[in-house]
Amino acid sequence: MALRITTLLFGILLISSDTALAQESAMKSNLNTPATIVVTLGTGTPNANPDRSGPATAVIVGDTPFLIDCGPGIVRRASEAAKKGVTALRVSNLKHLFITHLHSDHTVGLADLIFTPWVLDRMEPLQVYGPPGTKKMVDHIIAAYQEDIEIRVHGLEGANAHGYQVDVREIEPGLVFNEGGVKIQAFQVNHGSWKHAYGFRFQTPDRVVVVSGDTAPSQKLLDNAEGCDVLVHEVYSTAGFATRPPKWQAYHSKFHTSTAELAKIATQIKPKLLVLTHQLFWGTSEEDLLKEIQTLYDGKVVSADDLDVY
Ligand SMILES: [Zn+2]
Ligand SMILES: [Zn+2]
């Protein structure tokens, strides 16, 4: 179902039959908009696994990438994707970010996303949509880099004075973006003691993509994801969970979703494709994690790696 970007040079039309169909239907409807694709830029967790960058997903509509979360490594993963053929993810084109919640694993790449594309000639401010607290975080990051900004703008580098700036919109659940045929809705999810934690629903001219963010089972996700084309959902292994100390079992059952729970959720939602990300394996193999779902759910499901395209 997924195509590793290493084989993408031959063209994204080969990504999957579902995507090809979606592209065809977009063309037939004369929307003049290329098909929507999803790239899992970072499928990791707080664990510093070098094979899985921090949480970040891109929903790409035409040449516009919408980034969801900015875990560590996001800019280099985007650059890698661009190099291998997904040119919309070229670094100077990273301009829209949607933050699900302010857990550090989802946000420590924010300084990178503010400054690196600017140094590489992004001319416009970064547009950031995030929960309350996002503005304070951005202001502190900009303040922390004042010395760098001064030198780059006023020194011999002659950097532009706009590309490091950030337009922050602190959002509540509801419609948060509606431009160019793309509607993005934020909905509240159930992430333990976080007061503001969101999932996002993308309605593009040819697809509905839902990204769960970090969440335990949540009615709002069921309401917003029903019948979607792609559901990108976090998950932990039910077998791995059994090996965890009681303190961590208490935490994970309130903050995250097990394979058994996700199988039930997917059975209700019936996405055309379920993509597992932010996987917590705890010693379980990727194959066994998939089996945990597949024994309880008969729809299409894949366990994502970094730089998969759907
Ligand atoms: Zn997380
Ligand atoms: Zn979290």
Of the residues 69, 105, 206, 308, only one is catalytic, namely: 105
pLDDT in tens, 45-64: 999 999 999 999 999 999 99
| Element of type H or E holding 136 | helix 134-144
pLDDT in tens, 124-157: 999 999 999 999 999 999 999 999 999 999 998 8
Mean pLDDT in residue range 280-284: 96
- Check whether 13 has a pLDDT greater than 90: no
In 3D space, the residue among 244, 267, 307 whose CA is nearest the CA of residue 12 turns out to be: 307
Model pLDDT, residue 251: 94
Residue type, 158: G
Q: Ligand 1 centroid vs 133 CA: distance in angstroms?
A: 17
Give the torsion sign (CA, 14, 19, 21, 24): negative
DSSP letter at 15 equals: S
Mean pLDDT in residue range 75-102: 97
Among the bound ligands, name the one nearest to the CA of residue 69: 1
Domain count, the chain: 1
- Check whether 100 has a pLDDT greater than 50: yes
139: annotated active-site residue: no
CATH (domain of 235): 3.60.15.10
Q: Which residue has the tokens 């959002």?
A: 171
In 3D space, the residue among 260, 209, 201 whose CA is nearest the CA of residue 235 turns out to be: 260
Q: How remote is the C-alpha of 76 from its chain's centroid?
A: 15
What is the DSSP pairing of strand 64-68 with strand 56-61?
Answer: antiparallel
Q: Ligand 1 centroid vs 299 CA: distance in angstroms?
A: 25
Q: Ligand 2 centroid vs 103 CA: distance in angstroms?
A: 5
Whole-angstrom Cα distance, residue 43 to residue 276? 9
Q: Ligand 2 centroid vs 157 CA: distance in angstroms?
A: 38
Q: Which domain holds residue 170?
A: 3-309
Percent share of the chain, pLDDT over 90: 87
Whole-angstrom Cα distance, residue 291 to residue 287? 6
Residue 52: strand, helix, or coil: coil
pTM, rounded to two decimals: 0.90
